[in-house]
Amino acid sequence: MTRPPTAAQRRVIDAADPVTGRLKGTGAQLEALVKRGLAFRHSRPPHDHFLTPAGHRIREAVEVAPEAPAAAGGVFAARVGGEPEPPDAGPARVREVHSARQGLLELRRMTNPNGETDRPCGWERAHLVQAAALALEAAGHPPETGGSPGYRVRATPQPEAVAVYAQGAGELSACAATLEKGGWQAGEYTEPRTRVRYLLASPRRT
C-alpha cells in the first residue's frame, strides 16, 4: 500500500490552485509528487506541475466540504440545488462563479489534447455533480432553494452521469442546452415510479 505523503508534500498539495490543481514548490518536492503519481508535469511550456486525480483526492480528503469545487481566492461551493437557504446572488457571488468557470476552462486548455476547451476535462469527470452545477450556475440558471424552484444536480449509479432536475419542461430543456454548449451530452428521461422528467447528462468525450 502506498505510504501517505510527507508533511512537506501535504503542504504543497494543500496549497495547489483549487480549480486547476497547479502546484508550486521546489523542484525536488514536485518531482517527488510526480514519482508517487500525485502530480504530473505539463508537456507544454512553462511545464508547470498539476495534481493528478489521485492528488486531488488526497487534497479533498481533509477539506471541510469535499463535495464542493473551489475557485481561486477562497472556498467556493457550486450550487447543486436543494439548499435550504436562498443563495447569495450578489456581485461577489457572480465574480466567484465567473472565476471558477474561467479556472475550469484554463484547466481544460492545459490538460485536454490539443488544448481543447469545448469538452470536459479529467477533473470534471471526477467531480461530475460540481462540474455540471457550475456550468448551470455560470450560465445564469437559478438553483432550487427551500422556497424557490430551480435546478437540482444529483449523482446517479450510472458511471460518468448526473441527473438534473428543473421546474417545467422549458427550464429542463434550457438546462440541457446549457450543458450541451459546455461539452456535455444530455437526454431527457422519465422516472418510472414518480413520472418526473429529468436530464441524464454526461461529459462528452469527442
Q: How far is CA 95 from CA 92, 99, 109, 137, in A?
A: 5, 6, 21, 12
pLDDT value of residue 52 = 84
Q: What single-letter amino acid sits at 85?
A: E
Residues of the chain with pLDDT under 70: 1-4, 60-76, 86-89
pLDDT tens digits, one per residue of 154-168:
999 888 899 999 988
Backbone angles phi, psi at 18, to 5 degrees: -65, -20
pLDDT tens digits, one per residue of 176-202:
999 999 999 999 999 988 999 999 999
Supply 103's cell numbers: 479556472
Beta bridge partners of 143: 151
pLDDT value of residue 61 = 55
Backbone angles phi, psi at 148, to 5 degrees: -130, 135
How far apart are the C-alpha atoms of 155 and 79, rounded to whole Å? Answer: 14
**Whether the Cβ atoms of residue 55 and residue 13 lie closer than 8 Å to each other:** yes
pLDDT value of residue 60 = 66
pLDDT value of residue 163 = 96
Q: What percent of the chain has pLDDT over 90?
A: 36
Q: What single-letter amino acid sits at 90?
A: G
pLDDT value of residue 71 = 42
pLDDT value of residue 111 = 84
